[in-house]
Amino acid sequence: MLDPVPISTTGFNKLKEELDRLEKELTVVLRDVAAARELGDLKENGAYIYGRERQGFLQGQINELKGKINRSDIVDCTQAPTDHAAFGTVVTLLDLDTNAKVTYQLLGPDEADLDTRGLSIHSPVGQAILGHAVGDTVTAATPRGDRRLEVVGIARSEFE
């Protein structure tokens, strides 16, 4: 069995919503494939061929989502400790080389999204700051080179 993967309640709910949407879409595709099959010659039937391809693609996505859901370890991020950087906390960092501040929420790999400032705990920066407190200086080995960062703030998330 695979190790559980931490995920926020919000992230888990998004996975379930996406699964529900894909399963509804698959139902429509299956109905369309059945209707196309009734038209006869399957070798020359574009609607049938496309429908089968779409069915396979959707089934693959559904299976992947079910796997993620089954191995999810749901964490309420509004209850995360704030004495150190932990899963679910919102951490503000100061880049000691550029003097730039950036704020991330530490999340699981399925929720990482730099556009929304969701940082995976498995990323180089996430791993470097995990467990550290305000005032700690860490070095993160990133693909662009080492980054020296200071933890300048830790807060709870407003979202589960």
pLDDT band at 24 (very low <50, low <70, confident <90, very high): very high
Beta bridge partners of 120: 107
User: Which residue type, as a one-letter code, is found at position 125?
Assistant: V
Contacts 24+ apart (CB under 8 A), 55-58: 55/26, 55/29, 55/30, 58/22, 58/25, 58/26, 58/29
CA atoms of 123 and 157, how far apart (whole Å): 19
Residue 43: pLDDT band by 50, 70, 90 thresholds? confident
Confidence category of residue 39, pLDDT binned at 50, 70, 90? confident
Contact yes or no for 140/149 (Cβ under 8 A): yes
Global pTM reads: 0.82
Domains and CATH numbers, the chain: 5-74 (1.10.287.180), 76-155 (3.10.50.30)
Average pLDDT, integer, range 106-128: 91
Contacts for 37 with CB less than 8 Å, ≥ 6 apart = 45, 48
Q: Interhelix angle for 46-70 vs 9-37, to 10°?
A: 160
Integer Cα distance of 43 and 134 in angstroms:
65
Q: How confident is the model at residue 46 (pLDDT cuts 50, 70, 90)?
A: confident
Look at 3 and 91; give whichever has higher pLDDT: 91
